[in-house]
Amino acid sequence: MYPQAEISDLPWEPTLTDPLSPTVVADDAPWLALVVGNSRLHWAAFWGEQILGLWHTPHLSEAQAQGLIQDTFAPSAWAALAADFGLRSWPWEVGPSEGSLWDGPGFSPPPPLWLASVVQNQGQIWHTYDRCVAVTTENVPLGNRYATLGVDRALALVGAGDVWGWPVLVVDGGTALTLTAGVAGDLVGGALWPGLRAQFRALHDYTDGLPLVSPAFGGAVNTPVVSPWTTTLPPRWATTTAEAMVSGVVYGQLAGLRDFIADWRQIHTQGRVVFTGGDGPALAAALITQIPAWEAFIQVEAALTFWGLRVCRRGWG
């Protein structure tokens, strides 16, 4: 559980120097983290080693990003951005509950922004911020990594190892479902296949007549609603087209995960399995529903990539 701290309650008087200097890792300094994902931007605010809260935004235009940068991420800039999308002000998520994270006047002086991106055009627009620290896979302290390993996967694995210990397997239920395994700070390997939404999108886009189904948040578009499966698994033997799509994708996804996790645990009997990403909690809950004993070694952690950025920040410079 993340601290229910309010930014306005904190002493905004740290002295920060150039973001590439080791002094930027001072334990009494505020900083922001941004992980650019395939579908959304993932944000976190830190005070030294302590995470204050997480929130998410859609991908932004260059003009929207410049508005945040020019106002040094002050409350008014987030309010204007939220208005663009017809939403309430960001940030609003504090740990597991909702609340106002930015009630004070904002950061003074402007905070460093630690950035990791898997989408080039979305990542590049933040480089104009003079306190942006761009982290690439090469900067992540992970042994045995290969050249094309995504920075998000590397950060999540290092973050999981730092918090939960090694050996560890990270399951990221995002646009792509990724498995990334490591032992003693080294990458062992992993796997990738389409995430839940990508599979549903493919069924809709590459067939004639199949609906676009949402797997967990209210069912199908222009079809009868499919029951959410975040707490209850869907019917395996479906009697409607939309439910059959949900059954095939969900149970197929779970079968693949069971196979990989069983193999991992056979090799590393003490290894943790940590789920993250938008579908991570639902996938973990579904697997535990199927195999209750797995609850002993499965964890769910939304902040894995941010834990990885924190590790990078410790050793920067």
Task: Dig out the tokens for 121 from the structure.
Answer: 């055009």
Residue 201 is inside which H or E element, if any? Answer: helix 196-205
CA distance 118 to 232: 33
161 CB contacts (<8 Å, ≥6 apart)? 168, 182, 185
CA distance 218 to 213: 9
Handedness of CA 61, 89, 155, 273 (dihedral sign): negative
Q: Is 152 a catalytic residue?
A: yes
| In the chain, beta strands by DSSP E | 30-36, 40-47, 50-58, 93-94, 97-98, 113-117, 132-134, 168-173, 176-183, 186-194, 212-213, 220-221, 272-276, 298-300
276, 304 Cβ separation under 8 angstroms: yes
The letter for the amino acid at 127 is: H
- Write down the catalytic residue from 27, 28, 130, 152: 152
Residue 257 is inside which H or E element, if any? Answer: helix 241-267
190, 180 Cβ separation under 8 angstroms: yes
Q: Which residues are catalytic?
A: 152
